[in-house]
Structure 1
Amino acid sequence: MLSKIHCGIVIGVLSASVAAQAQDYLPILQYHHVSSTTPRSTSLTEAEFIEHMDYLQSAGFEVVDLRTALDKLKAKEALPDKAVAITFDDSYRDIYSGAFPILAERDYPFTIFINSEPVEAKRSNALTWAQMKEMEVAGAVFGSHTINHPYMLRKEEGESDEAWLSRMTREVDSVEELLVEELGHSPKMFAYPYGESNKTIRNIMKERDIIAFGQQSGVVSADSDFTNLPRFPASGAYAKLSALKTKLNSKPMPLLSEEAGGDFATDQPVSLRLTFKQGKYRLKDLACYVSGQGKATLDWVSDSEVIATASKAFNTGRGRINCTMPDNSGRQYYWYSNVWIRASAEQGYISEKS
């Protein structure tokens, strides 16, 4: 019979082993098309997708159900070691024909954010409700990507702020109702078209208890904004396996706070202020990169606070700053990204104050 001391040692070793196999963050992969005949910017081929999925399998990653994993993170419960989630945006039928057989063969759960208009119009390149029900049996989950895939922060010509908000509310609520009507339930998850949102739109999600996703890169943790979660793009220019490996080995930047000055950029260079949690980090190795400009200037306000500034203003469209920092092991990187919109007058964007 084992002594109490021996039992205590065994339990302690087992507890340490379990802790070593736990993860308190989640990288999420974002795909669109899986096809060789669709626009390359949002596509990867079936062969490339197989390469991605084979790597997840051979490297010991555990593909998890997205909503379940996010609920655990919010509750500060541990995820399996090397947990990762897979998502698709839009209602493309090639997800069913190109991706689904590959995922089903490996028994990988996945989430598709659908825009409902192509489905309801029964377009030939769109998923059908019957196909969605078939995929659900194999672990698929369907969230919302609006009705018509609009730029959610753009007003139509002559549209008031109130009318814009009413239209955007319909874009959210209508798909939620349709998911319940056709599939019997909704996971209450939403992906912003083009990754664009503002405080008003994010409040819609918060009021409805919907978890929402942008298109900024990064890793989700309990500290993340669950109305604007990051994902890693894995298609087009990001389809190379080497890029995927780097992202899968990323961790959330250990931030106490972040300030980016709002969702919109102006005719002045953007900057962001990052304050790090207490801890031993390789802050001297922090590097921030501005889209289309190279490295940002880093101004250390204190030992734990830095301001990263772009060298010049963004052009019209979306611009971002990505920051990375190696962890103490040198085998993984902390990752953070922020996106701004530089709007032009003719695009009709809602004002920053709305």
Structure 2
Amino acid sequence: MLSKARYSVVIAALSASTMLQAQDYLPVLQYHHVSASSPKSTSVTPEQFTEHMDYLKNAGFQVVDLRSALDDLKANKALPEKAVAISFDDAYRNIYQAGFPVLKERNFPFTVFINTEPVERKSRSFLTWEQMKEMEKSGGVFANHTISHPYMLRKEKGETDDAWMSRMTNEVDTVEGLLVKYLGSSPKMLAYPYGESNGQIRSMMKERGILAFGQQSGVVSADSDFENLPRFPASGAYAKLSTLKTKLNAKPMPLLSEKAGGDYATDQPVSISLTFKEGKYRFKDLACYVSGQGKATLEWLSETEVLASAPKPFGVGRGRINCTMPDNSGQHYYWYSNVWIRSSADQGYVSEKS
């Protein structure tokens, strides 16, 4: 029989071991279609999706409920080792037809962000409320993707800033009401259509207690902006299993702060300043890539602050800088991404100050 002192040592050792195995970050996978006949850029085939889910199961990943995991991260509670969450955008019916059976068989929880206009219109290409109720019984959670999937930062012709904000508020609040009406509750999560938001939209989310996702890649941690969270796309060009494995092994970049100069790009190249936490990191292996342009220029402003700059301006649309750095083990990559919008005058984007 163990003495009381020896018992305390054993318990402490077990607790330390558990802490080492726990995870303080969460990769979130983003899918759209599960179909061989839908647009390839936003699709995985049923065979690819099955391959992804088989890998998660066989490699020992713990698929967790998204909202619960986010709440734990915010509260600095550890997640299971190899925790990952699964999400879908747009409420396509092929999620029910080809994705849900695979998830149900493996007992994996998942979240679908729904835009309700085609659901209410009873489009045959989108989920029905009855199908959602069925999916809820096997780990499905349904969250907000607005009514009509608008570009949330674009005003309609002649629309004032106040009228635009009122319209966006309605896009969000109406879906929250429909989730409660048809499914009994809302998880208070939203995915921004096209990943676009600004300070005003993110403040609206915070006021409502809604956790929201952009379309920048990366890993969620307690340090994340919970009104603009990252996800990893796993469809189209990102559907290869080798690509998925790299992302599943990603860690959040250990940053103290970041300065991107706002949500919009101009006719000048973008740059972003990253300040790292104290620690021993492989800074010489940090690499940043600009969408469509190759490597960013890195200028170290101090031992822990770097300025990453694009070689040339972005074209109209969304552009990003992705940064990665191997950890000391070489088995994981720290990952960071930022997105900018380069708008044209005819698109009606609200101003940076709105």
Between the aligned partners of 1:288 and 1:97, the Cα distance in structure 2 is: 39
Aligned to 1:265: 265
The answer as to whether partners of 1:91 and 1:118 remain within 8 angstroms in 2 is no
Aligned to 1:208: 208
Cα distance, 1:4 vs structure 2 = 2.7
| 1:107 maps to 2:127 | no
Aligned to 1:287: 287
Describe the SS at the equivalent of 1:338.
strand
The answer as to whether partners of 1:154 and 1:348 remain within 8 angstroms in 2 is yes
Aligned to 2:190: 190
Q: Deviations over 1:136-171 (max 9, x none)?
A: 000100000000000000011111111100000000
Between the aligned partners of 1:98 and 1:315, the Cα distance in structure 2 is: 37
| 1:344 maps to 2:344 | yes
Between the aligned partners of 1:282 and 1:12, the Cα distance in structure 2 is: 32
Cα distance, 1:20 vs structure 2 = 1.9
Cα distance, 1:274 vs structure 2 = 0.2
Describe the SS at the equivalent of 1:279.
coil
Bigger shift: residues 145-154 or 11-20: 11-20
The one-letter code matched in structure 2 to 1:97 is Q
The one-letter code matched in structure 1 to 2:125 is N
Bigger shift: residues 323-332 or 10-19: 10-19
Between the aligned partners of 2:186 and 2:342, the Cα distance in structure 1 is: 34
The answer as to whether partners of 1:29 and 1:234 remain within 8 angstroms in 2 is yes
Between the aligned partners of 1:56 and 1:166, the Cα distance in structure 2 is: 42
The answer as to whether partners of 1:145 and 1:192 remain within 8 angstroms in 2 is yes
Aligned to 1:97: 97
Aligned to 2:317: 317
Q: Deviations over 1:248-294 (max 9, x none)?
A: 00000000000000000000000000000011111111100000001
1:7-18 equivalence runs, <5 A: 7-18=7-18
Cα distance, 1:21 vs structure 2 = 1.7
The one-letter code matched in structure 2 to 1:37 is S
The answer as to whether partners of 1:31 and 1:88 remain within 8 angstroms in 2 is yes
The one-letter code matched in structure 1 to 2:89 is D
How many percent of aligned residue pairs carry the same amino acid?
74
Cα distance, 1:12 vs structure 2 = 2.3
The one-letter code matched in structure 2 to 1:352 is E
Describe the SS at the equivalent of 2:274.
strand
Between the aligned partners of 2:201 and 2:78, the Cα distance in structure 1 is: 30
| 1:123 maps to 2:119 | no
Between the aligned partners of 2:7 and 2:206, the Cα distance in structure 1 is: 47
Between the aligned partners of 1:190 and 1:238, the Cα distance in structure 2 is: 22
Cα distance, 1:10 vs structure 2 = 1.3
Aligned to 1:335: 335
| 1:229 maps to 2:229 | yes
The one-letter code matched in structure 2 to 1:351 is S
Between the aligned partners of 1:208 and 1:13, the Cα distance in structure 2 is: 42
Between the aligned partners of 1:204 and 1:336, the Cα distance in structure 2 is: 25
The answer as to whether partners of 1:28 and 1:87 remain within 8 angstroms in 2 is yes
CA-atom RMSD, angstroms? Answer: 0.6
The answer as to whether partners of 1:23 and 1:79 remain within 8 angstroms in 2 is yes
Cα distance, 1:5 vs structure 2 = 3.3
Runs of 5+ consecutive residues of structure 1 not aligned to the other structure? none
The one-letter code matched in structure 2 to 1:54 is D
Runs (4 or more) in structure 1 with deviation over 4 Å come to none
Aligned to 1:73: 73
The one-letter code matched in structure 2 to 1:231 is R
Between the aligned partners of 1:267 and 1:287, the Cα distance in structure 2 is: 24
Aligned to 1:154: 154
1:235-246 equivalence runs, <5 A: 235-246=235-246
Between the aligned partners of 1:291 and 1:116, the Cα distance in structure 2 is: 32
| 1:134 maps to 2:139 | no
Between the aligned partners of 1:351 and 1:93, the Cα distance in structure 2 is: 36
Cα distance, 1:2 vs structure 2 = 1.0
Cα distance, 1:11 vs structure 2 = 1.2
Between the aligned partners of 2:338 and 2:50, the Cα distance in structure 1 is: 30
The answer as to whether partners of 1:109 and 1:138 remain within 8 angstroms in 2 is yes
Aligned to 2:165: 165
Between the aligned partners of 2:157 and 2:101, the Cα distance in structure 1 is: 44
Runs of 5+ consecutive residues of structure 2 not aligned to the other structure? none
Q: Number of aligned residue pairs: give it.
A: 354
Between the aligned partners of 1:213 and 1:40, the Cα distance in structure 2 is: 22
Cα distance, 1:8 vs structure 2 = 2.6
Query: Please, what TM-score do these two structures have when normalized by structure 1?
Result: 0.99
The answer as to whether partners of 1:321 and 1:339 remain within 8 angstroms in 2 is yes
The answer as to whether partners of 1:89 and 1:112 remain within 8 angstroms in 2 is yes
Aligned to 2:35: 35
Cα distance, 1:15 vs structure 2 = 1.1
The one-letter code matched in structure 2 to 1:152 is M
The one-letter code matched in structure 2 to 1:320 is R
Q: Deviations over 1:86-113 (max 9, x none)?
A: 0000020000001000000000000000
Q: Deviations over 1:52-93 (max 9, x none)?
A: 000001110000000000000000000000000000000200
Describe the SS at the equivalent of 1:11.
helix
Query: Please, what TM-score do these two structures have when normalized by structure 2?
Result: 0.99
